[in-house]
Amino acid sequence: MKHYGKFFIDGEWVEPISARPFELINPATEEAFATVALGSPEDVDRAVAAAKQALPVLAQSSKEGRIEMLERLIEAFTAREGEVMAALTQEMGAPVSLKGQTGSALNALRQGIATMKEYEFETRLGVNILRREPIGVAGIITPWNWPIQLLCNKLASALAAGCSVVAKPSEYTPVSAIAFAEIVQDAGLPKGVFNLVNGDGPGVGNAISAHNDIGVVSFTGSTRAGIMVAEAAAPSVKRVTQELGGKSANLIMPDADLAAAAHYNVTRGYSNTGQSCHSPTRILVHESQLDELTGHLQEAATKIKVGDPNDPETTLGPVVNRTQFERIQHYIETGIKEGGRLICGGPGRPEGLERGYYIRPTIFADITPDMTIAREEIFGPVTSVITYNDLEQAIAIANDTEYGLGAYVFGADKEKVLDVGRRLNAGRVFLNGAPPNTVAPMGGYGKSGNGREMGTFGMEEYLETKAIIGYY
């Protein structure tokens, strides 16, 4: 087995000050394939010191200089994209067909360039001068479900703003992050601009969140972990941005194309094995159209190919680890016990797959808004169909959640669809199957977090606003 024992700090691969090994398991085979060193607060201190030393030059660099830096990073990433995708497949089970894992990361870096080109860091406000300046060293903590996309989302915004970075990937997906750090090295980024310390939440994540020399922490993960990050960050009064959990509704209006809505929901909802916080996990349909919709959902589900993520034909791989597998199985069993009717899927592994953390694509009907699987984030390929009797009730059901990350609306009348979208409490609302893009801000209401990522809004999370008064 390979051992990934070093951290990328100040432009070099260094031995940890204090570390312990963590075994990495391939979720498709349930077999260990490597170990990684998990670091300590002392390793974070060293990484922050390197980032702090690099900050003044980066903060004072020109837009053109930072654009050129991101362009080199894109070129180096493109040359090794296949290697990064192979790491993702091995460590988290992402199918090789899911090119969005690496493609979205490259798009995030490109968006950093596009945002900078259009952005004015110094403007006038009446008789005042407004300056936007780097907030300081940025702590970046990323999850295991979209590890490279989210790392690049945050890094692109931080570098565009002029902030140096200390990053901690999930301990379940460190290999892709290590490959990315090698890409940073290939691109020739200045020493200390990007630093990588592998570790878990208590050991490294908490140290990043609490560190007095870090000006902002950007975290993506569970709501539970997000609360812990905010608590650790509070004494230093640093900025904290969070993208957390979701329980997104897909509100299908009575005049919608039911087949299109169903097929979109299955494709979008089961992409990345349902391990996406924006997944439309609650489908709201008029009570008179339930049978027609479930027929379309069944048809769409038959097109899902579950299996070896290295097979180009596979569209649904395993979930990331045993803990997630058992958690999702528990939710499926709970849905059955509480009266849910299975449209497809159910407990256990798919037929013919005896090993690996594979989940049967599962759709429930006869779900009411108070049931467990309609309220709690499952984070797997499990969808609940809920009926409504009028549009007002549908909107109320969609908004009856502690989350507010994403929402979806399907309907024939685009003005009515827009009106419904305006009334949904979510950070991103997708109309009639519109694809996501990197210009629109991403973030949520309620327990889905605070702050935004991507585009101008994402970059401004890494900027302070200074007013200069009296220059007449």
Give the pLDDT confidence of 294-334 residue by residue, as tens digits: 999 999 999 999 999 999 999 999 999 999 999 999 999 99
Average pLDDT over residues 361-370: 98
Catalytic residue selected from 152, 163, 277, 344? 277
Give yes or no: 152 in active site.
Answer: no
Average pLDDT over residues 103-126: 97
Give yes or no: 243 in active site.
Answer: yes
Residue-wise pLDDT for 448-467, tens only, equals 999 999 999 999 999 999 99
Average pLDDT over residues 387-413: 98
- DSSP-assigned beta bridge partners for residue 14: 7
Please state, for a pLDDT cut of 70, what percent of the chain lies above it. Answer: 100
CA angle 175, 74, 120 (to 5 degrees): 120
198 pLDDT band, cuts 50/70/90, is very high
Average pLDDT over residues 23-37: 98
70 pLDDT band, cuts 50/70/90, is very high
Catalytic residue selected from 81, 171, 243, 377? 243
Residue-wise pLDDT for 206-223, tens only, equals 999 999 999 999 999 999
The three-state DSSP-derived secondary structure of the chain is CEEECCEEECCEEECCCCCEEEEEEECCCCEEEEEEEECCHHHHHHHHHHHHHHHHHHHCCCHHHHHHHHHHHHHHHHHCHHHHHHHHHHHHCCCCCCCHHHHHHHHHHHHHHHHHHHCCCEEEECCEEEEEEECCCEEEECCCCCHHHHHHHHHHHHHHHCCCEEEECCCCCHHHHHHHHHHHHHHCCCCCCEEECCCCHHHHHHHHHHCCCCCEEEEECCHHHHHHHHHHHHHHCCEEEEECCCCEEEEECCCCCHHHHHHHHHHHHHHHHHCCCCCEEEEEEEHHHHHHHHHHHHHHHCCCCECCCCCCCCCECCCCCHHHHHHHHHHHHHHHHCCCEEEECCCCCCCCCCCCCCCCCEEEECCCCCCHHHHCCCCCCEEEEEEECCHHHHHHHHHCCCEECEEEEECCCHHHHHHHHHHCCCCEEEECCCCCCCCCCECCEECCEECCECHHHHHHCCEEEEEECCCC
Query: What is the dihedral sign for C-alpha 398, 399, 402, 406?
Result: positive
45 pLDDT band, cuts 50/70/90, is very high
